[in-house]
Structure 1
Amino acid sequence: MTALPPEIAAAGFPLPTGYRALLSAGAGALPGWRLLAGEAFLAAYAAANARGAERLLLPFAHRSTDGALACFEALPGPPEAVEVLDPRGHARARARTFAAFLRGELRAVPAEATAADAPALCAPARG
């Protein structure tokens, strides 16, 4: 799975280390979220930035239960914050770091989950 489409990556946007590690491990999903790539990324990118905001958002995950998008804010330095948008593009939640976003989302993982469950919880992307 690629991190960003080439035309977006060419802009030099740095990705958080934790997100790059997920991609390197071949993860295509987080519990409740599907990581975006290809056409799905491009559609989400257009939707996240359709409101003409003064900042550029780069979506990286989609939650199918409610249509939410998790986005990094494109900044000159390393990205930190993750913004969660509802399907209309309105901000729903914000985490100060990618790690904080993961901690919040992983709270939904059953307490009985163990390391053996990791392949199912963070399933590889399917072609």
Structure 2
Amino acid sequence: MTTVEAPVISKTTAASGLTAAVAILQKWGATGEQGTAILRVSRSTYARAKRRDPGWEVNLDGDQLTRISLVLNMHAALRVIFDNPENHYGFMAMANHNGYFDGRSPLEIIAQGGILSLYEVYRRIDSLRGAQW
């Protein structure tokens, strides 16, 4: 039986991804508390990423890297779906009345901190883009 190992992500690359995810979360209107729950990082790590310190490095686990990836991929899908920056940044804070969201905003759901909720919101946003890639 062969095993597949996850690629090794450098501490510098992890910091760049985290910094990008934090910047996106800020544009979506996430609070610091929501951001730390979504990315499963400490307040100090979140604050450091928010400051965008040059040369900063961080060690993140696979779950944290997956969360960053989902945020970045949601952002990419929203940019394809919406031409207007107000919409592709504002969508995450808008109340959504589709069955899964039940009047809550996508940001409210992902801020609960569960990886499954984060993935489900990503999946539903990604499905909106249809064949637009």
Per the normalisation by structure 2, the TM-score is: 0.30
User: Which has the larger helix fraction?
Assistant: 2
> Which protein is bigger by CA-based radius of gyration?
2
